[in-house]
Each structure stands twice: as C-alpha cells, then as structure tokens.
Amino acid sequence: LAKTTQPISMDSYEGQEVNITCSHNNIATNDYITWYQQFPSQGPRFIIQGYKTKVTNEVASLFIPADRKSSTLSLPRVSLSDTAVYYCLVGSLQTGANNLFFGTGTRLTVIP
C-alpha cells in the first residue's frame, strides 16, 4: 500500500500559481498518481491523474519526475473558490479501492 506525504496546509494569494508536492517513495510499477479536491461536507472530486512526465487539463497540471517518487500538482492563478483540501493518492483500482489511501491531504487557503 503506497502511502503519501504532503504538506498539511498552504496559504496563497488570489491570482498566484500554487504548487503542492507529494512524496510517494514506495510507488509500484502499476500505480498511478491521482489528485482529488474536497470542499467541506462534500465528497472528494477528481482533479487529475498521471503515470509519468506531465499531464495537463483545464484545471491543473501534474508534474511527475522520471523516478516517480514524487509529484507536484500545479494550480494556475488560484481563486478563493480553490480553498479546499487536496489529496494525493497513489495506486490503481486494479485490485480494489482499498489500495487508494487518502491520507490527511493538504488544506489550501486562498487569501484575497
């Protein structure tokens, strides 16, 4: 079960780019890296997923170095509505959802 380490909290001003780094030293060959966003009293929401190198979608980018032992979620020009908890997960659903460990996440606070 690949566990992750990420900062407990981060603050950022509106309009800035935010980078949240996640360490996953024991990532397995078949594991993917997935990031979720959670607002209070709501279920987590999928943001982005990648295996290696860089992945970009309409809301974020995910940078994964060659050794895959860490990854960085990049949120461009954050707004107040990006204030949430962000979870980094490592694993795949191939053998079950229990392999996706949520951890404590990173609480991002965007300041006006």
Partner 1 sequence: KAGVTQTPRYLIKTRGQQVTLSCSPISGHRSVSWYQQTPGQGLQFLFEYFSETQRNKGNFPGRFSGRQFSNSRSEMNVSTLELGDSALYLCASSRGEGTGELFFGEGSRLTVL
Residues lying near partner 1 in the complex (CB under 8 A):
32, 34, 36, 41-46, 49, 51, 87, 92-94, 96-98, 100-105
In terms of CB distance, is 93 or 111 closer to partner 1?
93
In terms of CB distance, is 40 or 112 closer to partner 1?
40
Gap between the Cα atoms of 25 and 23, Å rounded: 6
In terms of CB distance, is 81 or 98 closer to partner 1?
98
Gap between the Cα atoms of 17 and 92, Å rounded: 28
Radius of gyration of the chain measured on its C-alpha atoms = 13
Minimum CB separation of residue 22 from partner 1 in Å reads 15
Minimum CB separation of residue 20 from partner 1 in Å reads 17
Minimum CB separation of residue 62 from partner 1 in Å reads 13
In terms of CB distance, is 13 or 102 closer to partner 1?
102
Gap between the Cα atoms of 111 and 33, Å rounded: 28
- Tokens representing residue 73 in the block: 């979620």
Q: Which of 53, 91, 74, 71 is nearest to 5 (CA)?
A: 71
